[in-house]
Chains A and B, each alone.
Chain A
């Protein structure tokens, strides 16, 4: 199928988004920001899936993207609930403070 923009551009953008997400997870210490970076990783994969799917004229990739969006929404709900439960007990959202369990 014809894409108005060459597929390499989509893939490059998706790779940049993915790397940004990974960097965010590894570099930031705030649980919420880490979670936002994870969402960025999922969306970069979505972008790649949609680009591939359009180029090949195969719908399966786009169907997967819809499921990924639903899963990401469920994950957000659970993730924020976990952060709130933790904040009630510990009054912190920084992963550096998560140091009860070690060795």
Chain B
């Protein structure tokens, strides 16, 4: 689907919001409080303005991509991130609290990049969107510039991200040279037809490797724990949900339908990525002591579950991944949100130990965190259960039963480390856990995320019917 002027109104809206924020920075002497409310109101407005298009199923692609639904996911991720960030930045960056306007600006432009990726009609806009998102994220990761860990995470992310961009771009060049076009539809048609030149498949493999890096799949997962740990916690939440959803929207766009003998090779390649991510992510998450790092490893495992849906290569697979991303957004942002409230300056209060006695001190937050963790573990009746269910069913349909079995087994390992944190919160006495007043807006956002989690677990059809509008 080529992007026309009429169909690109979501992009125009989000970029206008970005430019408005930029102007506020120039015009106002103290832009931070204004920028905070304008960002939240603006993101809400953009979300409402693309909602009719979502109901019409705009931005659908022949491979099961759900353009505007992804855009809503990015906007929701950004909204929750911005809401959590206000308090977080005030608390962690007292000497330089004036940077919040720039922070919100970068989040908004990162969303613009993600939307460009999800709506891309050819590889030029795909590449531009990817870079717009990545460059904003490099800065956001190192936003607390006095923090040594943040600096280190930012540099690692930047060098590895730019390195992998080189691979993606070379892959695009090879695809262009052998297909003679940069249009994604035309290239996907060639992939489905199968029987192309080796140069074409080499180019496609390079692009696959690049996006496997962006979603944090094994064996390209090395950066995830370091960057997720070093970044400000709301940014981590944004990367784990928004950026991951954007990369998956591209994987659905380009890799969820394949044909010919090479199509089977690609199925095996993606199955390998999925299996490796599930095993490595879950096993390494078990041994972590730092909660943020545990969530980082678990996000590698979740990338693995979602890749199972891509590997299946059928309609249920891509729909399952889309549903998974929606539910993952609310459970993961919620979990990171509570972690960001508990975290103290200079990376204090982040280990399992620090959560002992948390339920006694702050029963509401502990209850919410437990709910998010149950959902991440994939227990019914929360959204995470159906996310896993849909991708595993799609895998069985595609004769990838071994992958589905492996997924179920490794998610059992996942239950252990999520429940361990719940046990520490509820059954161990301790002094830790902040009891300070939490801003009402943050609490409302957490409550909303929890409600949506429950709703997705009880009535998954509400989102499934939205996804079906894109067929």
Residues of A within 8 A of B (CB): 11, 14, 18, 21-22, 25, 31, 34-35, 38, 41-42, 44-45, 48-49, 51-53, 56, 58, 60-61, 63-64, 67-68, 71, 74-75, 78-79, 81-83, 85-86, 89-90, 95, 98, 100-103
Residues of A within 8 A of B225 (CB): 101, 103
In the assembled complex, how far is the CB of residue B284 from the closest CB belonging to chain A, in whole angstroms?
9
A56-B180, A61-B182, A78-B135 in contact; A100/B149 too (CB < 8 A)? yes
Sample of 10 further A-B pairs with CB below 8 A, known A85-B142, A103-B225: A42-B166, A42-B169, A56-B180, A60-B124, A64-B123, A74-B131, A75-B135, A75-B162, A78-B139, A98-B156
Tally of chain B residues near chain A (CB < 8 A): 41
Contact B166 A41 (CB under 8 A): yes
CA distance A83 to B146 in the complex (A): 13
Is B154's beta carbon under 8 Å from chain A? yes
Stretch at the interface among B40-48, B171-179, B369-377: B171-179
Contact A86 B151 (CB under 8 A): yes
Interface of B: prevailing SS = helix
In the assembled complex, how far is the CB of residue A50 from the closest CB belonging to chain B, in whole angstroms?
9
- Give the residue name and chain of the A residue nearest to B147 (CB): A89
Task: With a 10 A CB-CB cut-off, give which of A63, A101, A103 has the most chain B CB atoms.
Answer: A101
- Give the residue name and chain of the A residue nearest to B183 (CB): A60
Residues of A within 8 A of B181 (CB): 58, 60
CA distance A35 to B160 in the complex (A): 10
B window 155-199: CB within 8 A of A: 155-156, 158-159, 162-163, 165-167, 169-170, 172-174, 176-177, 180-182
Neighbour of A64 across the interface among B124, B155, B158, B180, CB < 8 A = B124
Contact A79 B162 (CB under 8 A): yes
In the assembled complex, how far is the CB of residue A90 from the closest CB belonging to chain B, in whole angstroms?
6
Contact B159 A86 (CB under 8 A): no
Contact B163 A101 (CB under 8 A): no
Map CB proximity to A onto B136-149 as digits: 1 under 8 Å, 0 otherwise: 00110010011011
Neighbour of A101 across the interface among B138, B158, B226, CB < 8 A = B226
A48-B177, A60-B181, A89-B151 in contact; A41/B156 too (CB < 8 A)? no
Contact B159 A31 (CB under 8 A): yes
Neighbour of A90 across the interface among B135, B151, B177, B230, CB < 8 A = B151
Q: When A and B form their complex, which 10 residue pairs have the shortest distance between CB atoms, in order from nearest?
A: A41-B166, A52-B177, A101-B226, A48-B173, A45-B169, A86-B151, A45-B170, A71-B131, A60-B182, A85-B145
